[in-house]
Amino acid sequence: MNRRKIITLLGGAATWPIAAHAQQAIPAVPLIYEAIPSEATPFIAAFQRGLAEVGFAEGQNVAVEYHNAGSHYEHLPALVAEFVNRPTAVIVGNTPVALAAKKATSTIPIVFLTGTDPVKLGLVASFNRPGGNVTGVSFLSAATETKRLGLLRELLPKATVIAALADPNFLTTAGQLKDLQDASRTVGQEIQVVEAGTDSQLDSGFATLAQLRSDAVIVVAAPFFTSRRERLVALADHYRIPAMYSWREFPAAGGLMSYGTSFTDAFRQAGVYSGRILRRKASRPAGAGADQIRTGHQHEDRQGARHRGAQRDPVARRRGNRIGEVPFVAALAHGWLWHRPTMPQRLC
CATH code, domain with 195: 3.40.50.2300
pLDDT at residue 120, as a whole number? 86
pLDDT at residue 289, as a whole number? 55
Averages of pLDDT over runs of 10 residues in the chain (348 residues) are 38 36 73 79 94 94 89 85 94 93 94 87 84 85 78 90 94 88 88 95 97 95 90 96 90 88 88 92 49 45 40 36 26 31 36
Are 198 and 318 found together in one domain? yes
pLDDT at residue 341, as a whole number? 34
Are 239 and 99 found together in one domain? no
CA–CA separation, 273 vs 289, rounded Å?
A: 9
- Domain with 44 in it: 8-139+263-292
Q: Which amino acid is at 269?
A: Q
Are 128 and 220 found together in one domain? no
pLDDT at residue 306, as a whole number? 39
* Environment class of 331 (CB within 10 Å of its CB; exposed 0-12, middle 13-18, buried 19+): exposed
Instruction: With respect to residue 1, please indicate whether it lies within any of the assigned structural domains.
Output: no
Strand partners of residue 166: 195
**Count of domains in the chain?**
2
Are 307 and 320 found together in one domain? yes
H-type helices in the chain, by residue range?
A: 3-14, 16-23, 37-53, 76-84, 95-104, 118-121, 145-155, 173-186, 199-211, 223-227, 229-239, 249-252, 263-280, 302-307, 314-319, 344-347
Note whether 119 and 98 are within 8 A (CB). no
pLDDT at residue 330, as a whole number? 20
Are 56 and 79 found together in one domain? yes
Q: Considering 277, 292, 307, which residue would you say is the last residue of a domain?
A: 292
Are 63 and 93 found together in one domain? yes
pLDDT at residue 75, as a whole number? 86
Note whether 35 and 226 are within 8 A (CB). yes
Strand partners of residue 164: 193, 218
Strand partners of residue 244: 218, 257
Instruction: With respect to residue 199, please indicate whether it lies within any of the assigned structural domains.
Output: yes
Are 241 and 313 found together in one domain? yes
Question: 304 in helix, strand or coil?
Answer: helix
